[in-house]
Chain A
Amino acid sequence: MITLQNIHKSYQMGLNPLHVLKGIDLQIEKGELVSIMGSSGSGKSTLLNIIGILDNHDEGEYKLDGKIIANLSETKAALLRNEYIGFVFQSFNLISFKNAMENVALPLYYKKISRKKRNKIAMDYLDKVGLLDWAEHMPNELSGGQKQRVAIARSLIARPKVILADEPTGALDSSTSYEVMEILRNINQEGITVIIVTHEDDISRMTKRVIKLKDGIIEADYVPKPLQNSSLNGSGSRLADKENVTLNIQT
């Protein structure tokens, strides 16, 4: 689904460029549930943005579903995003003057689907995330968890092949985080590729593969030891068990 080869990315900061990604090689298959971890500033968001075609890489090759992503016009990039990718952000990014249903329906507006039809589909997706009764509510009337569920419904509505979530639980308490993760796991079970950036160990352990970044390179790529179901169901123990590590040091 996603193939990255020797991806480099620098930001121009004043006089000297800041080299953020220093050669990323990564392959993610269709239907994977991946988390990206790493310390602050290690380049997680940068990587996710490149995968999401929100930003372009300087060097290397990026293939999305077999298509080489390079030198796209803004319009082309927008169409690809609309077709392939759903975004979930840490700060939800709901449009404040649109109610939950209208927020969810927005991607379909850019797919030129009629208002009536897209609102109906939006209701189905709100139902999926358990917010059918909140359809008419404005974002400021929703809790953080509810907002994130609306955002997830929005990311799903255009039937993307990949969901990219940048710290989706970063602004949520632990039990709400687990609810959100449960939804993302369900989505993944339907065959959609899900990539989650997170700081939290227990969140990463709800995914099937962890990619650890350090200073712009992949430090480790392993299958985490799953969390016990008891803690998944909200007992709240976020103590990191010793991982079942398969180190995969990059050279």
Chain B
Amino acid sequence: MFDIDKWQEILSTIKKNKLRTFLTGFSVAWGIFMLIILLGSGKGLENGFENEFRGAAKNSLWIWTGRTSVAHNGMNPGRAIRFTNDDYENLKNNIDQREYISGRFNIWWGNQVTYNNETHSFGIRNVHPDYEYIEALTITEGRYINHLDITHHRKVAVISTLVRDILFKDESSEAIGKYILVNNIPFKVVGFFEDESRNENNMRLIYIPISTAQMVFSGGNRLHEISMTIHANNLEEAQRAEENIRNRLAAVHNFDPDDRRALGTWNSFENYMQMQSLFKGIRLFIWIIGIGTIIAGIVGVSNIMVIVVKERTREIGVRKALGATPLSVVSLVLFESVLITTFAGYIGLVLGVGLLELLSGIDAPFFSNPSADFGLAVSATLLLIFAGAVAGFVPAQRAAKIKPIEALRDE
């Protein structure tokens, strides 16, 4: 392998047949280039989708109530189910797989938020402190709602940087500690957040402690939704947790556990897994196309090498007459093939990665930051060396079989 002289012998052959070498290498370079671009684009697509779905934790579970649709224990269908703080406590204390949990109390009316002369309509979310993690919010300054806010019914608000800029304009930098009016009730701004999904709907929001909201907006102990993150290693575990919750709430509220109208759930884990399997499919598809392209390249190289061996029959015969062993003839052809394939493939690799690098700035919806990682580059390189060996195999065998007398006979 590391016989420098052998490589020099091969290099000198290649150097003196530049056009042939170029033609041979081109198809391989093209194949690898395409593979890298394809894989990079796949990655970009994947990144894009992940960005779109980044708003919530990947293992979150959302639960809301509705009306029963089937009779249960002698109760008629059509009965409204309502969550209260007790349901929150119940799930908080009894679900083993729970990580973060928060209730949510909605106010449907008004939603007027005012600072000085600026009055705007924003979404108002009344939640527990854990909600920060369930929605995967980023606190850019100050803090999120905490437990003291809940127990003391503090009138505090956490607003998005977007809301801050709309309300406070050039006072933005000193907004913390200022009071804003929410449906004419003053709340103190304690922090700013950003939502990673950068979806504007998720940014036109302010957060208020749930206990405060229930008190000042006369909600009693009423909850509209409960959301949580659950610890699950796979889809089955996530579904089991969901089942568990459903049964527990059905027992308390006296409805059929299978009644999807009475209790609605949305499991992001399920969604995430679906997405993952979609990407697995896309990745597989891309590899199949890419490898197909490379195989075309291999066949191309192999064909050209067969022709080369034919053209060089006489030369190989001379070499044999001068003492070349079959093994040295095989390695001459095989290494030439590996060298050309590897080198050409490397060029394709560099060009492909280079193009991806140029495109890496892209951040469109559902397509972001296409890239090829190091592991991919390494496996592509190994693939190339292997491909070169495969491509050289048949022609090398032919070369080894050339009989010097046949080759040397004058036509």
Interfacial residues, chain A to chain B (CB-CB below 8 A): 49, 52, 54-55, 74-75, 78-79, 81-83, 87, 89-91, 93, 95-98, 102, 106-107, 109-112, 114-115, 154, 158
Q: Contact: A110 with B328, CB < 8 Å? A: yes
Give the complex CA separation of A91 and B411 in angstroms: 10
User: Given the complex, which residues of A lie within 8 Å of B5, measured CB to CB?
Assistant: 109, 112, 114-115
> Does B404 have its Cβ within 8 Å of any Cβ on chain A?
yes
Minimal Cβ-Cβ distance residue in B for A55:
B405
Q: How many Å lie between the Cα of A111 and that of B13 in the bound state?
A: 19
Q: In the docked arrangement, what's the CA distance between A97 and B15, Å? A: 10
Bound CA span A187–B324, Å: 24
Q: Are B13 and A52 in contact (CB under 8 A)?
A: no
Structural contact, A54 and B321, CB atoms closer than 8 A: yes
The distance from the CB of A96 to the nearest CB of chain B, in whole angstroms, is: 8
Nearest CB of A to B1, in Å: 15
Q: Which residues of B contact A95 (CB under 8 A)?
A: 315, 318-319
Taking the closest CB of chain A, its distance from the CB of B15, in whole angstroms, is 9
| Closest chain A residue to B326, Cβ basis | A74
B320 within 8 A of A: yes
Specify which of A54, A87, A154 lies most central, judged by the most chain B CB atoms within 10 Å of its CB: A54
State which residues 394-411 of B face A: CB under 8 Å. 403-405, 408, 410
What B residues does A52 contact at CB under 8 A? Answer: 321
- Give the residues in chain B near A78, CB-CB below 8 Å: 320, 323-326
User: Would B16 and A97 count as touching, CB distance under 8 A?
Assistant: yes
New contact pairs (19) apart from A82-B322, A112-B5, A115-B8, CB-CB < 8 Å: A54-B321, A54-B404, A54-B405, A75-B326, A78-B326, A79-B325, A81-B321, A87-B321, A87-B322, A89-B408, A90-B410, A93-B317, A93-B408, A96-B315, A106-B319, A106-B322, A107-B323, A110-B322, A114-B5
Expressed in whole angstroms, the minimum distance between the Cβ of B232 and any Cβ of chain A is 64
With a cutoff of 8 Å between Cβ atoms, the chain B residues found around residue A90 in the complex are: 410
Decide if B326 touches A54 in the complex (CB within 8 Å): no
Tell me which of B13, B321, B403 has the highest count of chain A C-beta atoms within 10 A of its own C-beta. B321
Whether the Cβ atoms of B325 and A54 lie closer than 8 Å is no
In the complex, A158 Cα to B324 Cα: how many Å?
Answer: 13
- In the bound complex, what is the Cα–Cα distance between A111 and B12 (angstroms)? 18
| B327 lies within 8 A of chain A by Cβ | yes
A-B contact pairs, 24 of them (CB 8 A): A49-B405, A54-B408, A55-B403, A55-B405, A75-B327, A78-B325, A81-B320, A81-B321, A82-B322, A82-B323, A83-B323, A90-B410, A93-B317, A93-B318, A93-B408, A95-B318, A96-B315, A109-B5, A110-B319, A110-B328, A111-B323, A115-B5, A158-B322, A158-B323
Whole-angstrom distance between the Cβ of A230 and the nearest chain B Cβ: 33
Closest to B324 in A: A110
Bound together, the chains give a CA A185 to CA B13 distance in angstroms of 35
B314 at the interface (CB under 8 A from A): yes
Q: Enumerate B297-350 residues with CB–CB distance to A below 8 Å.
A: 314-315, 317-328
